[in-house]
Amino acid sequence: GNYHSLILKNDNTLWTCGQNTWGQLGNGTFTDRSTPTQVMTNVKAIDVGSQHSLVLKNDNTLWVFGLNGQGVIGIGTTDLTSTPIQIMTDVKAIAAGNIHSLILKNDNTLWACGENTFGGLGDGTTTNRTTPVQVMTDVKAINAGLTFSTALKNDNTLWSVGVNNRGQLGDGTNINRPAFIRITLP
């Protein structure tokens, strides 16, 4: 994150340290920590955004905590939380952008929530989403950039969406895209 770290140990325990102004350490407080503190067990994957945290547990449940501006943690409000909250089941992979989150479910559907001013969620709108919305099917891998997203589909085609001011979407333009577009690779 900007000023916080998540550490996943080999025993599947999650430890956090750093800035905790918005509860992004998930330890139930808003106090910064300069040494790691264990906050969860049975964890298989983690990712952090600017000031929010995503945790995928071994049972394929998705847990979230931290700053929730624009609904980035998907709990249905913009309230922050300093304790982990489960928001989804049957999750395969997660990706945290600056202030948006991507969730890939076991059925290969892609879901997104959070800030969407420039269309980085890929639902075809520029409306912020406080709960995850389905944005694509047949997906096998995901990545979240600062304010854009990419998805690799099962047919090995690459798709991107969101802010494109530096050509980061790879479509040969600098036009923001609110819906996923297929990228042609040389």
The owner of tokens 């395969």 is 92
Residue 32: CA atoms inside 13 Å, Cβ hemisphere, count? 6
Amino acid 185: pLDDT = 86
Nearest to 66 by CA among 115, 20, 33: 20
Strand 129-136 and strand 52-57: the pairing is: unpaired
Structure tokens that stand for 168 in this block? 């980061």
For residues 182 and 49, what is the distance between their CA atoms, to the nearest angstrom?
Answer: 25
Closest C-alpha to 141, from 179, 186, 93? 93
pLDDT tens-digit profile, the chain (186 residues) = 999 999 999 999 999 999 999 999 999 999 999 999 999 999 999 999 999 999 999 999 999 999 998 999 999 999 999 999 999 999 999 999 999 999 999 999 999 999 999 999 999 999 999 999 999 999 999 999 999 999 999 999 999 999 999 999 999 999 999 999 999 988
